[in-house]
Chains A and B, each alone.
Chain A
Amino acid sequence: MSPVLLIAWREYKQYIFSRGFLLFLILMPLGAILIAGALGLAESAKPARHFTIYDATGKYAVPLAEEFERRRKRNIVTSYDSWLSFAADKAAIEEKKIPAPFAPGPPDSVRVEAFLAAGIDGANAAAAPYLRNGAPPFEEPRWPFKLEPPPPDVAAAPGIEEARERLKPYLLDEKLPPGADEPLFAAVLIPRDFGPGEGAPAVEFWSRNVTDAALKETLGVALNSMMRREAAEARGLAPGAFDSIASIETALEDFRPDRAVEDAALDDRDRFEIALPALMTYMLIVVIFGAGQLLLTNTIEERSNKIVEVLLSSVTADQLMMGKLLGIAAVGLTMPTIFTLTGLVAAVGLGGGTETLSALSTLAGSGLIFVYLFYFFCAYVIFAMIFLAIGAMSNSIQDAQSFMGPVMLIVFLPLPFIMLVYQNPNGFIASLLTWIPIYTPYAVMMRAASDPPLLEIAGATALMLAFAIVLTRAMGRIFKETILNPAPVRLSDVWKLLRGASGRSRS
């Protein structure tokens, strides 16, 4: 094995076969399962939020309770639709084989009432012939809110001011409402003058736990729905018509004008291709940051442990640098590769295999993957050389801090602009970033799928390559000059090193 590959393999082995990494690989899926389980357990173990309504108008408490009940029923149907999307064969859904009201669709009042009339057992029986093997049956979702009647002393309050005072002991867990086994989580107070007109007072939401917003959000939706329903009926709309109107959903499809009309509609493959540049760019930043830190600590270790001199008597400084770059790049890519493969396996396992494989084969066929790999490699080399040089100049992480600040700023500077380039890949910001050599890889990766002007990309790439060569030589020179120097280098010495270092050491 060549010395470069030997060094690369040692670097790779040092991290990938370390106990910490192997433990992480084992614990990662376990951790994901545990977190998902813990979140599910926390949600299911969380007691229902008990709340009550004090209605000073005397006319909104019942409609509001009815709205809550509609939400609960609707929640059963939407949960059923979600369950069906992964439990049933996709073909059966697309071919609309499952009969109404059990076929997935808008949860209007007619469907919801018909669904609940058949019950959960009826829904499971209707879906059974179309389920994938091993799919679990549908279970009624837990509704996390429970409306309680106001405690008698609160109900008897002559006005909202008195009601507030009387509710406080219940909200502060000092008293339980009669017959209740749980304290009140919240109370909704509807003022006397509340109504549809402008200038009407706000409904008051009293709760000691302001961070748990689920009840408040549901309440807001229910109140809006209640008021719109009242307004619709006041304008003469039949009571059931409002639900039908509210459940109308319009389909909006994407098309690309650069294709023949029959192929112009965007499919999953196109969406994958559009999303990929952003994914690759973020992955690049993650790899650069992760691998950069490894290069830095690793070089500092070799320098401070005095290993580097033995290495340099066995290999050249260039071979040492190249070995490190390759080894740490492989380390940096291992984690995202594992995540990607796990994601693909999960996608295939969850039934998205055909779409995933089709998207991947399209990507490989389009040549875009090679564009991404080329710019990924260029960006890695540019930043890795900077980290190597910093490591060679520092005896400790503290020494490296003075160099790291500006470098990290440069690494992360394009982050705020990535979305702008993503949304407008041929706009001014995209073009500007493309012509800044250190950001050319980011910008071109983001633009690659959007047919950017070829001349602009070629020119910017040539500039980036020239910059990469100059930077690599300069950083390599710093590495060779300083790696054996026992004293750490100050920021102010870097320019001197770049100017006066040539010809002193071997390459």
Chain B
Amino acid sequence: MTATVLKLQDVVKRYGDFSAVDGLSFEVGKGEIFGFLGPNGAGKTTTLRMMLDIIRPTSGRIEILGSASAVKVRRRIGYLPEERGLYRKMRAAETIAYFAQLRGVRREDAKRKSHALLDRFGLGEFARSRNEQLSKGMAQKVQLLATIAHDPEFLILDEPFSGLDPINQHTLEDLIRELRGQGKTIIFSTHVMQHAERLCDRFLILAKGKRRFLGDIAEARAAHPPRLILRTRDPAEWLAKTRGVLSIAAKGDPEDGEQAYELTLAAGADPQAILKAAFESGLRLSRFELAGASLHEIFVTLAGDVGPIASPQTESEAA
């Protein structure tokens, strides 16, 4: 079993009567890429700030890299906040070296590292440019490089893809995979599910300060009701009464006289039995597809205004 680098236990953060984070518990293992998903205002940034001990939880316990406070191990952590900025008059290389020095890297090493990183990420010629002269994308790269320049073993990235163009998003995904390959642990928050789907070993969905899901994509799909997509020119609403079908809903407008339907199935329902029932009733089908839920759909379902649902880990913890 991999070592735990982060552990949150019943963490609560209240501002007056408002609970920004409400009884949050989870663990992140060494070498994991862990997604921290949730809509705006879910409590992601508050939780990340509590992990870093920038703000204190109202109650609960946080352990990071074996320490009760990130302050003691901050040189082993790299943090890229959601709202990020740079000193406008500082030069790019100087900025990276400055933050590396603040996190304990010696001056000469910090300077050398900053130039090496800028060269590697195609910004070598801008090393002496002032931050205010950089494009937004370049400035974001500089911010990211400042986060990793001290070679942290644990990276906390708050919405790292926000504001990046597709090429830079791709570069960042590669970098995250490369860092994981070096044995580093990465936790990142996002509300763009594609990144999480491609990168995360596990993820947590947070909504209104509460955990809605914790596990990997397979577990999420397993926990999500299976669906059937079918297309026919005949009325199909009657399929709702078929055994194993929880509901049926028309999807979009009819095309060429055909209507698409989405059937939500009960857990363990047999799609073949439904297909057989459709044929026996003379339903003319042009499409019949068993669809697994995408992370986006899972996210919308879980983070939407619904009650908390059980996740594999929640259930096992309860057991």
Please give the residue numbers on chain A whose beta carbons come within 8 Å of chain B beta carbons, in ascending order: 1, 3, 6-7, 10, 14, 18, 301, 305-307, 309-316, 484, 486, 503-506
Question: Is A310 a contact partner of B79 (Cβ separation < 8 A)?
Answer: yes
Q: Which of A307, A315, A486, A503 contacts B86 (CB 8 A)?
A: A307
Q: How far is the CA of A301 from the CA of B77 in the complex (A)?
A: 25
Q: How far is the CA of A309 from the CA of B53 in the complex (A)?
A: 11
**Contacts A484-B54, A505-B54 known; A313 to B86 CB distance under 8 Å?**
no
Cβ distance B131 to chain A, nearest Cβ, rounded Å: 10
**Contacts A14-B89, A306-B85 known; A506 to B54 CB distance under 8 Å?**
yes
Question: Is B54 a contact partner of A314 (Cβ separation < 8 A)?
Answer: no
Question: Is B101 a contact partner of A1 (Cβ separation < 8 A)?
Answer: yes
Cβ distance A309 to chain B, nearest Cβ, rounded Å: 4
Question: Is A6 a contact partner of B86 (Cβ separation < 8 A)?
Answer: no
Question: Is A309 a contact partner of B54 (Cβ separation < 8 A)?
Answer: yes
**Contacts A14-B89, A313-B52, A506-B56 known; A6 to B83 CB distance under 8 Å?**
no
Interface check B170, CB cutoff 8 A: no
- Residues on the A chain within 8 Å of B70, using CB: 313
**Contacts A313-B79, A503-B56 known; A307 to B87 CB distance under 8 Å?**
yes
Q: How far is the CA of A315 from the CA of B103 in the complex (A)?
A: 8
Cβ distance B65 to chain A, nearest Cβ, rounded Å: 14
Interface check B215, CB cutoff 8 A: no
Q: How far is the CA of A7 from the CA of B74 in the complex (A)?
A: 17
Question: Is A306 a contact partner of B102 (Cβ separation < 8 A)?
Answer: no
Cβ distance A250 to chain B, nearest Cβ, rounded Å: 61
Number of A-B contacts (CB under 8 A): 72
Question: Is A316 a contact partner of B89 (Cβ separation < 8 A)?
Answer: no
Question: Is B102 a contact partner of A311 (Cβ separation < 8 A)?
Answer: yes
- Residues on the A chain within 8 Å of B53, using CB: 506
Question: Is B55 a contact partner of A315 (Cβ separation < 8 A)?
Answer: no
**Most chain A beta-carbon neighbours within 10 Å: one of B54, B55, B99, B143:** B54
Question: Is A310 a contact partner of B49 (Cβ separation < 8 A)?
Answer: no
Question: Is A312 a contact partner of B99 (Cβ separation < 8 A)?
Answer: no
Question: Is A305 a contact partner of B86 (Cβ separation < 8 A)?
Answer: yes
Cβ distance A108 to chain B, nearest Cβ, rounded Å: 64
Cβ distance A3 to chain B, nearest Cβ, rounded Å: 5
Cβ distance A377 to chain B, nearest Cβ, rounded Å: 26
- Residues on the B chain within 8 Å of A316, using CB: 71
**Contacts A14-B89, A18-B89 known; A313 to B81 CB distance under 8 Å?**
yes
- Residues on the B chain within 8 Å of A14, using CB: 87, 89-90
Can you list 9 A-B contacts (CB < 8 A)? A3-B102, A18-B89, A305-B86, A307-B86, A309-B79, A313-B79, A316-B71, A484-B54, A484-B55
Question: Is A305 a contact partner of B87 (Cβ separation < 8 A)?
Answer: yes
The 8 A CB mask of B67-107 against A (1 = contact, 0 = none) is: 00111001001011101111111100000001101110001
Interface check B248, CB cutoff 8 A: no
Q: Name the residue on A nearest B78 (C-beta).
A: A313
**Contacts A504-B56, A505-B56 known; A307 to B74 CB distance under 8 Å?**
no
Q: Which of A305, A313, A503 contacts B77 (CB 8 A)?
A: A313
Interface check B220, CB cutoff 8 A: no
Q: Name the residue on A nearest B103 (C-beta).
A: A314
Interface check B21, CB cutoff 8 A: no
Interface check B146, CB cutoff 8 A: yes
Q: Which of A1, A314, A503, A505 contacts B74 (CB 8 A)?
A: A314
**Contacts A6-B101, A316-B71, A505-B56 known; A310 to B84 CB distance under 8 Å?**
yes
Q: Name the residue on B nearest A19 (C-beta).
A: B89
Question: Is A484 a contact partner of B49 (Cβ separation < 8 A)?
Answer: yes
Closest 4 A/B residue pairs (Cβ)? A305-B85, A306-B85, A313-B79, A306-B83
**Contacts A314-B74, A316-B71, A484-B49 known; A505 to B89 CB distance under 8 Å?**
no
Q: How far is the CA of A305 from the CA of B83 in the complex (A)?
A: 9
Q: Name the residue on A nearest B147 (C-beta).
A: A310
Q: How far is the CA of A1 from the CA of B106 in the complex (A)?
A: 8
Cβ distance A178 to chain B, nearest Cβ, rounded Å: 67
Q: How far is the CA of A312 from the CA of B289 in the complex (A)?
A: 51
Q: How far is the CA of A271 from the CA of B49 in the complex (A)?
A: 58
Question: Is A504 a contact partner of B89 (Cβ separation < 8 A)?
Answer: no
Q: How far is the CA of A312 from the CA of B70 in the complex (A)?
A: 11
- Residues on the A chain within 8 Å of B103, using CB: 314
- Residues on the A chain within 8 Å of B49, using CB: 309, 484
Question: Is A305 a contact partner of B88 (Cβ separation < 8 A)?
Answer: yes
Cβ distance B114 to chain A, nearest Cβ, rounded Å: 15
Question: Is B99 a contact partner of A310 (Cβ separation < 8 A)?
Answer: yes
Cβ distance B46 to chain A, nearest Cβ, rounded Å: 10
Cβ distance B10 to chain A, nearest Cβ, rounded Å: 18
Q: How far is the CA of A189 from the CA of B77 in the complex (A)?
A: 89
Q: Name the residue on B nearest A7 (C-beta).
A: B102
Q: Name the residue on A nearest B75 (C-beta).
A: A314
Q: Name the residue on B nearest A314 (C-beta).
A: B102
Q: Which of A18, A309, A506 contacts B71 (CB 8 A)?
A: A506
- Residues on the B chain within 8 Å of A306, using CB: 81, 83-85
- Residues on the B chain within 8 Å of A504, using CB: 55-56
Cβ distance A319 to chain B, nearest Cβ, rounded Å: 9
- Residues on the A chain within 8 Å of B77, using CB: 313
Question: Is B54 a contact partner of A312 (Cβ separation < 8 A)?
Answer: yes
Q: How far is the CA of A3 from the CA of B55 in the complex (A)?
A: 20
Q: How far is the CA of A313 from the CA of B55 in the complex (A)?
A: 10
The 8 A CB mask of B51-66 against A (1 = contact, 0 = none) is: 0111110000000000
**Contacts A14-B89, A484-B55 known; A309 to B101 CB distance under 8 Å?**
no
Q: Name the residue on B nearest A481 (C-beta).
A: B55
Q: How far is the CA of A506 from the CA of B49 in the complex (A)?
A: 11
Question: Is B74 a contact partner of A313 (Cβ separation < 8 A)?
Answer: yes
- Residues on the B chain within 8 Å of A18, using CB: 89
Q: How far is the CA of A10 from the CA of B90 in the complex (A)?
A: 10
**Most chain B beta-carbon neighbours within 10 Å: one of A3, A10, A310, A503:** A310
- Residues on the A chain within 8 Å of B54, using CB: 309, 312-313, 484, 505-506
Question: Is B69 a contact partner of A506 (Cβ separation < 8 A)?
Answer: yes
- Residues on the B chain within 8 Å of A7, using CB: 102
Q: Name the residue on A nearest B158 (C-beta).
A: A309
Q: How far is the CA of A312 from the CA of B85 in the complex (A)?
A: 13
- Residues on the B chain within 8 Å of A314, using CB: 74, 79, 99, 102-103
Q: How far is the CA of A310 from the CA of B95 in the complex (A)?
A: 12
Cβ distance B163 to chain A, nearest Cβ, rounded Å: 12
Question: Is A10 a contact partner of B56 (Cβ separation < 8 A)?
Answer: no
**Contacts A1-B101, A314-B74 known; A309 to B107 CB distance under 8 Å?**
no
Cβ distance B99 to chain A, nearest Cβ, rounded Å: 6
- Residues on the B chain within 8 Å of A307, using CB: 84-87
Cβ distance A140 to chain B, nearest Cβ, rounded Å: 55
Within 8 A of A (CB), among B125-146: 143, 146
- Residues on the A chain within 8 Å of B89, using CB: 14, 18
Q: How far is the CA of A78 from the CA of B142 in the complex (A)?
A: 68
- Residues on the A chain within 8 Å of B69, using CB: 506
Cβ distance B175 to chain A, nearest Cβ, rounded Å: 18
Within 8 A of A (CB), among B248-285: none
Cβ distance A234 to chain B, nearest Cβ, rounded Å: 77
Cβ distance B176 to chain A, nearest Cβ, rounded Å: 18
Q: How far is the CA of A1 from the CA of B81 in the complex (A)?
A: 25
Cβ distance A218 to chain B, nearest Cβ, rounded Å: 55
